[in-house]
Amino acid sequence: MSSLSPWVKNIGHLAIVIDDLDKGKWFFGEVLGASFFMYKGEQIMVELDSSVLVAKLSKDAVDKSRQNGEFGKQILDHYGFQSETPELVDLFFERIKSFQLEIVREPHNRSDGRAFYFRDPFGNLVEYFWYNRK
């Protein structure tokens, strides 16, 4: 039995609400080192392999009825970025520390790989992980 869905190939995009476009450009461009482009001058489209992370101001959110909290954010437990090796988890942890972002949990081994957690500049919890597919 295949674990792949016949309907869904991958996440096409994930949209998060941010409070400042310049802070978003700094985080996604400088901190993460990701390429991005501006959509209509109001949304940051971060290109990540075959998926896109959309960062937009709360006024552009599709479902305003589900928003709550600071900056009108929707409820989101966390989002994550995947590493290619366990060593990169530790290297990226040092990079995140150098930008003085809040560390929630330091790098640690777990049954499915290695990970750490931090907060992006908008208060969202971010997981950076290496997934051991063995």
Residue range 13-63, pLDDT digits in tens: 888 888 899 999 999 999 999 999 999 888 999 998 888 999 988 776 665
- Residue 1: per-residue pLDDT: 44
Please give the full DSSP string across 66-100, using - where no structure is assigned: GB-SGGGPBP---EEEE-SSHHHHHHHHHHHHHTT
Please give the full DSSP string across 15-70, using - where no structure is assigned: EEEES-HHHHHIIIIIIS--EEEEETTTEEEEEETTEEEEEEEGGG-S-GGGB-SG
Residue type, 90: D
Q: Which pTM does this prediction carry?
A: 0.83
C-alpha span between 100 and 97 (Å, rounded): 5
C-alpha span between 123 and 118 (Å, rounded): 9
* Tens digits of residue pLDDT in 78-114: 899 999 999 999 999 999 999 999 999 999 999 999 9
Report CA dihedral (133, 27, 73, 37) to the nearest 10 degrees: -90
End-to-end alpha-carbon separation of the chain, Å?
A: 18
C-alpha span between 26 and 44 (Å, rounded): 11
